[in-house]
Structure 1
Amino acid sequence: MAHASPASPSAAALVDGFSLEMTGKDVAGLHEARAIIPRGTKINVTFLGNEDLEMRVAAARAVKESGFVPVPHISARRLESAAQLEEFLGRLHEVGATEHVFAVGGDPADPAGPYPDALSLIQSGLLQQYGVREVSIAGYPEGHPDITDDVLWRHLDEKALALAQQGLDAVILTQFAFDTAPVIDWIAAVRDRSIDAPIRVGTPGPAGIKRLMAFARRFGVGANAMIVKKYGFSLTNLMGTAGPDRFVSDLAEQLPAASTVKLHLYTFGGLLATAQWAREFVAAEYSGAVQ
């Protein structure tokens, strides 16, 4: 594995300060992994349709109590009313978990209530009332299966502007990717639009290849045979496990030296396995053991 070039941030620096993702059902996994996750790590808590308010709040509280920074997801299209949004924000505030949130449109084809997208959440004015200081918004380097590119760019512009006007910090969190080329092009396009928010590039932590391929198909992420081969996946051995080592090293080589880009790890293979991978990767890169 090649070292990053001197003109780019090292692969270790890209991973160092990583963020993670968990669901409301992953609290036991969080407790199992917390000894090897650096204190202060941002951990996103998803807003899944099959999990209720209590599970989401309990997970955010567990993140906070474990010494990490909870970033609860707010899925706009799943919210049935402003009152439901306020209830969620109020409960999160009670457990000290509202400073950082991720505002996202969500999966349902039809909104359940008054919020058709993340922009409408931001423009509601409710986030600040409950102590929100930083809002993560979604980025799609490889596009979205149900939203055209021009709409994605317009929404990104509008969300970045709305957050700036409200005095809220912004972070762009991307859908997971396997291929660095569209990610690098997309980052350049974001900066060309004068959006200077920090970017967290999503990529899967170590997980079973069959599971990774299933998630890629579900979210419209490119995972063709060439990319699969390039990143060490074996289509003839779908029972194997793959990690993001090569993706991370390639990405680090191509980023500009002053880049404000970090890694966000989707924990399809579990929090413990992902945190162990990150710790070992950073240690190996800093020690010069990765060749």
Structure 2
Amino acid sequence: MTGKDVPGLEEAKHAIPLGTKINVTFLGNEDLEMRVAAAKAVKDLGFVPVPHISARRLSSQGQLEEFLGRLQEVGATEHIFAVGGDPTTPEGPYEDSLSVIRSGLLSTYGVREVSIAGYPEGHPDIKAEVLDRHLEDKSAALKEQGLDAVILTQFAFDTDPVVRWIKSVRDRGIDTQIRVGTPGPAGVKRLLGFARRFGVGANAMIVKKYGFSLTNLLGTAGPDQFVSDLSSLLAQDPSAGSVKLHFYTFGGLLATSEWAREFSAAQS
């Protein structure tokens, strides 16, 4: 959710199990008050806030400490997501999420678990070898500081690169829990817009496998097939370790949470 999505969270709360982790973004057009208020709303409603820290958006160490301090006041620092962020040029001393982790400040403000980004299909602006090295470095830095870690991936339409990437992560000795990103139900045109923005593969064959067609941009699509296929593939590979899901709510919190509830009920 974003800082503006508190009304949407209120609307969807009946469909979200208590204790669910809900990430709160760190957008350039939102301010400190909005981010803290959103994290507090998540906490007050019985969920687990996971505020984002966008490294390249931070103008100073003081801004990072102010943000962490305010989050700690509302009980929202146990879980955070450290990410580089959109700006090409850092606005302050942190060029990437690794530099935020290495600052040593997180545990000072009560952080116990840090989510870090994973990119099964790569990143449009970062070379694969750099992504691999940073994943290893961040995992090692968190372990050295006694902090738990979670790898939270970019969303995907195709299970094949996701499964290959999970295997490569495990082959490098990283046994951290992986939360595979998938969009909740949303309009096809909206999904493709986010795919282009984030460099996610979305050719005709891939999206047909996911469950929609490029010729019907007015329709909607959900992750039913993707989740079912991923579950089947991972069940065949015990070395995959702990793998869960992370939902990107491009179609709204209510639509995503209701889909998850209904899909889960159908499986049981």
TM-score normalized by the length of structure 2: 0.98
Q: 1:114-153 counterparts in 2 under 5 A?
A: 114-153=93-132
Counterpart AA for 2:261? R
Matched residues in 2 for 1:223 and 1:235: separation?
9
- The more displaced of 95-104 and 248-257 is 248-257
1:225 partnered with 2:216: no
Matches within 5 A, 1:43-58: 43-58=22-37
Aligned to 2:258: 276
2:176 aligned to which of 197, 214, 235: 197
2:260 is paired with a residue whose SS is helix
Equivalent in the alignment of 1:79: 58
* Residue aligning to 1:6: none
Counterpart AA for 2:100: L
Q: Which amino acid aligns with 2:263?
A: F
Q: Name the CA distance, whole Å, in 1 between partners of 2:162 and 2:15.
A: 29
For structure 2, the residue ranges without an aligned partner over 5 or more in a row are none
1:36-185 to 2 correspondences below 5 Å: 36-185=15-164
Q: Work out the CA distance in 2 between the residues paired with 1:269 and 1:128.
A: 34
- Greater RCO, CA 8 A, separation 6+: 1
**2-structure distance, mates of 1:97, 1:272:** 22
Take 1:38 and 1:257, find their aligned partners in 2: how far apart are those partners? 27
- Which string of whole-angstrom CA distances, capped at 9 and with x for unpartnered residues, describes residues 4-58 of structure 1? xxxxxxxxxxxxxxxxxx1101000000000110000000000011111011000
1:210 corresponds to = 189
- Runs of 4+, deviation exceeding 3 Å: none
CA displacement, residues 113-140 of structure 1 (integer Å, 9 cap, x when unaligned): 0000010000001101100000000000
Shift of 1:156: 0.3
2:10 to 31, 36, 41: 31
Same amino acid, percent of matched pairs: 77
* Larger relative helix fraction: 2
| Aligned twin of 1:11 | none
TM-score, normalised on structure 1?
0.90
